[in-house]
Chains A and B, each alone.
Chain A
């Protein structure tokens, strides 16, 4: 029997709740991970453009560490270190995944935010400060709204990467789409149909975002 035999398709499709549950976990991990990544990215992105050497250095260390080591090792470190940091807490595996993708993509988003802020002319910050705005107010009301336009396309691409990278959960038995699909396929031997279905589901999640990013980029090029 070939890997794509009709009976294998029937068996796989009739087990659709497995894929839906996995998809749910993937979505939760992606949304929570994205929120965390955005918060970290904005904080460290703003810090990296501040005048203080210390905050710039701090931001640099964060970005360099998380961009130059694999997500997988970060997740493994977290997985083993969390019980030491919080010995009493029972931390679900999904949370490890959320923290992992959040910190990893936070570093990339920080660079995106930095580039966005630096695309705005310095004079604007100086003008705002001379008008009595504090640094935070100037960022909040003058710089960030303008920087958003530059930032949005690469930010959307980061969201796509983040969704794909939640599949790191499969390696630590996190119950996401990849994990559920893979363990089902392993038990039943239906690798062919399972992987095609899993691939299509990821594609359905990611493609609309990638498409939106492309459209935003094209729009920017015209203006």
Chain B
């Protein structure tokens, strides 16, 4: 069809500049992802507890937030943080991603909280624990264990979704790669660069998905063996 293993491609594949650019981009992608997961975990747990709570105003506000965010595109949130809020591109990417991801983590948290039988609430209450104490000492420690696998797999989603940040010019992997591709003019070279970017994402995400599945089986097999 066309000669793929041409000198052009070999020159590209042996050029350290290519790998430097990809690694630089990967670093920023991971930075964005780690900060996003951290922020989203804190905010998601709060939102999840609000939604789970029996206080009407709290649960309604949390529900409205979660439902709205989950039904609009992530790209819109990033663009809003960048153009309307006027944040720098990396910060806008992190804030947009965190707003989005915390709504998803909130649902994970609610699922985790719902999985703890009501009998435990009653037992703890009969022992004189108040709501906050029950959450803190009885329910959350168990629920968090159940939340770990879905949160790890959410990490994969965040890494993938962070590529949308190229639309607002954050120098993550996708954008660095696209700039790199722009320096070449042959279609086969450009495609080779995109394949390299795809492989980079794939390796990281494949390992993380694998970890998530491992944790899932491990945590569902030996109940309460981790984090206790």
Contact = CB atoms under 8 A, between A and B. Distances in A.
Do A and B come from the same complex?
yes
Interface of A: 3, 64-65, 67-74, 76-77, 80-81, 83-84, 160, 164-165, 167-168, 170-171, 178, 182, 185, 191-192, 195, 198-199, 202-203, 206-207, 210
B163 A68 contact: no
A160 to B, nearest CB: 7
B145 interface: no
B202 A68 contact: yes
A173 B47 CA distance: 36
Contact of B72 (A65, A171, A206): A206
A83 B79 CA distance: 30
Contacts of B74: 164, 167
B84 A167 contact: no
A141 B68 CA distance: 39
13 contacts: A64-B206, A67-B205, A69-B198, A73-B163, A73-B194, A80-B191, A80-B194, A81-B191, A84-B188, A160-B71, A164-B72, A195-B80, A210-B70
Interface of B: 2, 67-68, 70-76, 79-80, 83-84, 156, 159-161, 163-164, 166-167, 174, 178, 187-188, 190-191, 194-195, 197-198, 201-202, 205-206, 209
A163 to B, nearest CB: 8
Given A73-B197, A80-B191, A171-B166, A178 B67 contact: no
Given A83-B187, A192-B84, A70 B161 contact: yes
Contact of A202 (B2, B72, B209): B72
A171 B178 CA distance: 12
Contact of B174 (A70, A198, A203, A210): A70
A187 to B, nearest CB: 13
Closest 4 CB pairs of A and B: A206-B71, A68-B205, A167-B73, A70-B163
Given A167-B76, A171-B166, A206-B71, A84 B187 contact: yes
Most buried by A among B2, B72, B160, B195: B72
A67 B107 CA distance: 21
A198 B205 CA distance: 31
Contact of A178 (B70, B76, B160): B76
A192 B75 CA distance: 15
B156 A68 contact: yes
A168 B195 CA distance: 19
